[in-house]
């Protein structure tokens, strides 16, 4: 029986921790001395790894760690090269005129060629010789290519062994029949038309263009990933698919083979490090391996198990063995906070990530070293992100390994085919390459989303977009399919109404679609904030592109933190469940990165970026156990109405600010004052057009620190804008719903009374920890000394209704008081006759706490307790949930 697999397929990246030990233990050998490298050309910018890239064999690491064998040979290093404008036949046995460092693309400095982006020699002939180690005698020899852009034809000792089309998926040939006993000649012809259209070619090429500029970059032609060989038995393992099943703690396994495997069987062993935890024997259909008490893979705990696959003959002798790794995790969708959200292991987790282009100033598509490849992902992780959208490029296997071991979720794009509408043959090739990419990465725990199309790039019609999305889902139902990232943008054909995801793009943003019953809402691109960094920039055409330019680290960091705050509100109010920020690193003429293109300078305050990212991720996790927290406080205005944002919790730039009936939990009536600005929904109360004249209207706008966003509470209850010298005002004292607010000469009238946290006449509850209300013990009696505590909110309870007159909080005609005029931590609260003392003074703080100026301490629930009857106290102000008390 033969069990050959007819699709080109391999597994993915390297192994973690104990698996690295397994690799060492198996004695991985390279059957040739290290290759030399040709001199590099000057790089427009140097990275920390540029000088190391050509020390010995370039990229010497094992290239396929998701499926390892002990013996292999790396063919990277110096090759010969001939560039041609015509599709010549190769000439065998002759030295070629140039020297090139494989696997760096010929446009890169590290290749030693550094040819211009618009070079019209589309045909590249590579040549080298090699010998096969004597120890491989009696086995088949497989020749592997990580990736060649775009079409490759391969000859060994003058015999054509095969060809491949597609610049982003791996391929291999069995070259055993072509080998001789000594020195062998290997020739590769690569044809890469990029965007030239030569010969009618319309390849999937991502962002490669022959005249780079703006958001398009220099091409990476020819061989750009590792070339290598390995020996295999005549009957051997070709590839292995595996999927975790968390419901019963098993791993579903299927093994594909080469050669005659009649009477053969498979032994699969799951290992924690080097300890076997589960075994199963099967044939060549799906079977399950137990993984008892399986440890879940998550971004916070990216634990990887090892998997040993043994192919055994009829005599139960192992004839081939490979090592793999896997993560026990599942991807899905569920209703959370009343909306459909994506899940990891059954729990909603915000996909908070970056749009990673994967370009390098020295190697273009190819990272200078494996350490550089890993460093990019570590930098992203260190900034607090938990996801990477790999943007219309597919990285080498080792990149996925690093994502797996570091714990980063991955959205994998299909590289775009830009020529539209293209031919039927173009479309078929695009779909073939997409299938191969899905096949190649189906067992990587980090990969959670596939993205077939981006904006309108290469999309030929909406019906086929829908069909392709459905095909990808059928091919791999264990992941989410994002049919069309940014279908609201850029010449796209519109909403495909398919897959698992609705995806918008918004620059600068943020914004969000609305989840449906079957599709979650995600923001596939936003941000693009830029900061110039002279000495660390490179643009092929001398021009630089940015969506929004900043001039300082503080300014750009402030803006980013504001975007995350806005996005958090969109998560609460609209069901936004993913964010993809443009971008982690500058790329050629784009200066939108956190880091410069050379990876030398971090342009933001990294600690603040990390804190903001961790905050939104933590907020998403909290939604699994309860509703979103109530933050901020209402601003009571004329007629007892609240300051409100039109449009019900949307709050985009320019949304009108108005009066409306107070609604206890309306997010767009919750305002936070930071000492200068009033914010809600992640944006600031702003005077339209930076106005200063009487009648200038108010709206919501991105916080920018401008004078139109500065507000100072006055002693008479008004809110003054220092830039204009005018006050927040309701025109002619109007109190109707929808009354648009303005600024006007300050006059202290009722039309200008706006109190943060409620006014003197507003008897409303104070919501504390756990959603409990501040309550007076003994059910509406309220004598002197009555304990003040937490209790379930009761809408008719008079002892839960409090008024604030600007200094004291009152209920049942008495004041909130610190027992015995105490000032120490732990002094408990009571009700007492109002006497104007320092023990009865309370000031609402911007973070939602209530501070007593005399003691300098805040109202506090001991140890964050939320049980009925929890006696309240004062304690050092710390901004924790135990000190959040919001007057309604």
Report the CATH number at residue 482.
3.20.20.80
pLDDT tens digits, 696-742: 999 999 888 899 999 988 878 899 999 999 999 999 999 999 999 99
Which residue ranges of the chain lie beneath pLDDT 50?
1-34, 758-761
Non-local (6+) Cβ contacts of 107 within 8 A are 113, 114, 115, 116, 117, 119, 218, 219, 220, 221, 364
- pLDDT for residue 20: 37
Domain closes at, from 708, 736, 756: 756
3-state SS assignment for residue 296: strand
- pLDDT for residue 27: 34
Check whether residue 205 and residue 138 sit in a common domain. Answer: yes
Check whether residue 458 and residue 596 sit in a common domain. Answer: yes
Using a 10 angstrom Cβ sphere, with 0-12 exposed, 13-18 middle and 19 or more buried, the burial of residue 318 is: exposed
Using a 10 angstrom Cβ sphere, with 0-12 exposed, 13-18 middle and 19 or more buried, the burial of residue 865 is: middle
Check whether residue 138 and residue 165 sit in a common domain. Answer: yes
pLDDT tens digits, 330-347: 999 999 988 999 999 999
Domain closes at, from 175, 201, 232: 232
Q: Is residue 265 part of a domain?
A: no
CB of 770 closer than 8 Å to CB of 752: no
Residue 838 CB neighbours (<10 A): 12
Decide the pairing of beta strands 480-481 and 447-451.
parallel
3-state SS assignment for residue 400: helix
- Answer positive or negative: Cα dihedral of 312, 318, 324, 325: positive
Domain count, the chain: 4
* Rounded-to-integer distance, Cα 623 and Cα 386, Å: 17
Check whether residue 796 and residue 746 sit in a common domain. Answer: no
* Rounded-to-integer distance, Cα 270 and Cα 277, Å: 6
Tell me if the bond preceding 508 is cis, omega within 30° of 0. yes
Q: Is residue 37 part of a domain?
A: yes
Check whether residue 780 and residue 665 sit in a common domain. Answer: no
Query: For residue 733, what are the domain limits?
Result: 635-756
Q: Is residue 438 part of a domain?
A: yes
Domain closes at, from 725, 756, 787: 756
Q: Is residue 267 part of a domain?
A: no
Cα separation values, 731 from 655, 740, 742, 747, Å: 18, 8, 7, 13
Residue 529 CB neighbours (<10 A): 27
Check whether residue 599 and residue 489 sit in a common domain. Answer: yes
Selection from 770, 827, 493 nearest residue 622 by Cα: 770
Q: What is the largest CA-CA distance in the chain?
A: 105
Check whether residue 592 and residue 643 sit in a common domain. Answer: no
Report the CATH number at residue 151.
2.60.120.260
């Amino acid at each position: 029986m033969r069990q050959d697999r007819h699709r080109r397929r391999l597994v993915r990246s390297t192994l973690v921790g104990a698996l690295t030990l397994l690799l060492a233990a198996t004695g991985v050998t390279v059957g040739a001395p290290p290759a030399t490298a040709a001199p590099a050309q000057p790089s427009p910018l140097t990275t920390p790894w540029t000088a190391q890239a050509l020390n010995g064999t370039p990229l010497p690491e094992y290239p396929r760690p998701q499926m390892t064998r002990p013996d292999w040979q790396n063919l990277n290093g110096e090759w010969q090269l001939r560039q041609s404008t015509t599709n010549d036949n190769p000439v065998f046995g002759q030295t070629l005129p140039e020297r090139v460092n494989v696997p760096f693309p010929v446009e890169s400095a590290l290749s030693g060629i550094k040819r211009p982006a618009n070079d019209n020699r589309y045909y590249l002939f590579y040549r080298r010789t090699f010998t096969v180690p004597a120890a491989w005698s009696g086995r088949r020899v497989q020749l592997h290519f990580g990736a060649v852009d775009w079409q490759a034809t391969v000859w060994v000792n003058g015999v054509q062994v095969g060809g491949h089309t597609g610049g982003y998926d791996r391929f291999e040939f069995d070259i055993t029949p072509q080998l001789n006993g000594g020195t062998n000649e290997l020739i590769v012809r690569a044809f890469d038309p990029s965007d030239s259209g030569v010969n009618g070619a319309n390849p999937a090429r991502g962002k490669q263009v022959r005249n780079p500029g703006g958001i398009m970059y220099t091409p990476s032609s020819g061989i750009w990933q590792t070339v290598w060989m390995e020996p295999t038995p005549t009957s051997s393992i070709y590839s292995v698919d595996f999927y975790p099943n968390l419901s019963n703690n098993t791993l579903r396994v299927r093994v594909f083979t080469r050669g005659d495997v009649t009477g053969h069987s498979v032994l699969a062993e799951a290992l924690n490090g080097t300890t076997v935890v589960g075994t199963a024997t099967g044939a060549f259909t799906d079977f399950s391996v137990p993984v008892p008490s399986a440890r879940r893979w998550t971004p916070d705990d990216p634990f990887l198990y090892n998997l040993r696959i043994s192919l055994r003959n009829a005599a139960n002798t192992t004839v081939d063995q490979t090592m793999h790794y896997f993560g026990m995790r599942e991807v899905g969708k569920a209703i959370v906070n009343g909306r459909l959200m994506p899940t990891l292991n059954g729990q909603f987790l915000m996909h908070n990530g970056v749009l990673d282009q994967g370009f390098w100033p020295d190697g273009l598509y190819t990272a200078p070293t494996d350490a550089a490849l890993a460093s990019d992902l570590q930098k992203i992780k260190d900034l607090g992100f938990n996801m990477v959208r790999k943007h219309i490029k597919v990285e080498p296997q080792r990149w996925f390994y690093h994502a797996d071991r570091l714990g980063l979720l991955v959205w994998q794009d299909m590289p775009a085919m830009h020529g539209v509408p293209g031919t039927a043959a173009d479309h078929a090739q695009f779909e073939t390459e997409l299938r191969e990419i899905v096949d190649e990465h189906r067992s990587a725990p980090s990969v959670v989303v596939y993205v077939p199309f981006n904006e309108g790039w290469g999309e030929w019609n909406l019906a086929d977009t829908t069909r392709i999305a459905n095909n990808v889902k059928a091919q791999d139902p264990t992941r989410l399919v994002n049919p069309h990232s940014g279908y609201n943008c850029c010449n796209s054909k519109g909403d495909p109404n398919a897959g698992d995801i609705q995806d918008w793009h918004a620059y600068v943003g943020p914004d969000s679609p609305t989840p449906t019953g079957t599709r979650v809402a995600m923001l596939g691109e936003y941000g693009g904030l830029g900061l110039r960094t002279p000495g660390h920039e490179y643009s092929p055409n001398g021009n630089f592109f940015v969506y929004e330019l900043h001039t300082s680290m503080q300014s750009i960091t402030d803006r980013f933190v504001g975007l995350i705050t806005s996005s958090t509100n969109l998560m609460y109010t609209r069901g936004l469940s993913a964010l993809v920020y443009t971008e982690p690193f500058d790329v050629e003429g784009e200066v939108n990165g956190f880091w410069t293109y050379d990876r030398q300078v971090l342009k933001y305050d990294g600690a603040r970026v990390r804190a903001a990212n961790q905050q939104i991720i933590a907020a998403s996790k909290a939604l699994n156990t309860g509703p979103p927290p109530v933050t901020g406080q209402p601003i009571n205005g004329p007629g007892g109405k609240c300051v409100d944002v039109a449009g019900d919790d949307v709050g985009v730039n320019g949304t009108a600010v108005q009066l409306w009936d107070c609604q206890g939990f309306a997010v767009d009536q919750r305002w936070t004052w930071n000492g200068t600005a009033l914010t809600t929904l992640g944006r600031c109360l702003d005077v339209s057009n930076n106005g200063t004249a009487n009648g200038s209207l108010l709206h919501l706008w991105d916080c920018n620190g401008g004078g139109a966003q500065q507000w100072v509470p006055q002693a008479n209850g008004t809110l003054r804008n220092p830039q204009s010298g005018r006050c927040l005002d309701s025109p002619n004292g109007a109190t109707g719903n929808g009354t648009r607010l303005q600024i006007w000469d300050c006059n202290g009238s009722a039309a200008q009374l706006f109190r943060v946290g409620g006014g003197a006449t507003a008897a409303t509850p104070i919501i504390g920890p756990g959603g409990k209300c501040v309550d007076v013990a003994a059910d509406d009696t309220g004598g002197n000394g009555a304990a003040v505590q937490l209790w379930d909110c009761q809408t008719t309870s008079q002892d839960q209704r409090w008024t604030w007159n600007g200094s004291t909080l009152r209920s049942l005609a008495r004041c909130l008081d610190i027992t015995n005029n105490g000032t120490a931590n732990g002094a408990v609260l009571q009700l007492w006759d109002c006497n104007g003392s320092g023990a009865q003074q309370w000031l609402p703080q911007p973070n939602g706490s209530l501070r007593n100026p005399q003691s300098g301490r805040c109202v506090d629930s001991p140890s964050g307790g939320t049980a009925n009857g929890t006696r309240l106290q004062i304690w050092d102000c710390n901004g924790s949930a135990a000190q959040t008390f919001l007057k309604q």
